[in-house]
Amino acid sequence: MKRDSRTGPIRPLLKKRTEIPQGPEVPQDIHDREGEAKRILKRLAATVEYHRQAAKELKVDFGSTDLRNVPDALRSHARGGTGLPVHGARDEIHGYCLNTLFDELVEESSNILFTTKTGSDTMRYDAMTPYFWIECLDLMETTYFRRVDK
């Protein structure tokens, strides 16, 4: 097999830190924005609770401060940062539990799709925008984590 005869360095398609297009904040056209946010909150709360129980088996107890660091990391990720490692780890196992929770939650924004009717018998599926995702994270923090404090 013949080697590639191109000379010079290979130019990357995307430069570092420009991978996420920066545009104006455009609200996502969601028919029942509040209802959708509550539906998403239930999914997020179930995931958080599952991870809290799994962490207990490793003798790690998530306090409200620990759990508030995860939405902060998710917001950072939604704005183009890495989000990892999640701040506040007390030791290696605690950090593993926080980062595992982050990993599972960060996928939710791409797993939730909204439908828009485009014709009499056609639908378009749209992924959640980072702006709506951040709204859902804010709702999660103000409702779910307030219950954790009690």
Higher pLDDT residue, 12 or 72?
Answer: 72
Domain residue extents for the chain: 33-149
Give 21's pLDDT tier (boundaries 50, 70, 90): very low
Measure the CA–CA gap between 53 and 49, rounded to whole angstroms: 6
Residue 28: per-residue pLDDT:
55
* pLDDT tops 70 at residue 2: no
Confidence of residue 146 (pLDDT cuts 50, 70, 90): low
pTM: predicted TM-score of the whole model, two decimal places: 0.72
134 versus 64: the higher-pLDDT residue is 134
Q: How confident is the model at residue 147 (pLDDT cuts 50, 70, 90)?
A: low
Question: pLDDT-based confidence at 47, cuts 50/70/90?
Answer: very high
CB-based contact 130:78 (threshold 8 Å) = yes
H/E element, 65: helix 64-78
C-alpha 63: how far from chain center: 20
Residue 24: pLDDT over 50: no
Percentage of the chain modeled with pLDDT above 70: 77
What does the pLDDT read at residue 91?
92
**pLDDT > 60? residue 10:** no
Q: Do 112 and 13 form a contact (C-beta atoms < 8 A)?
A: no
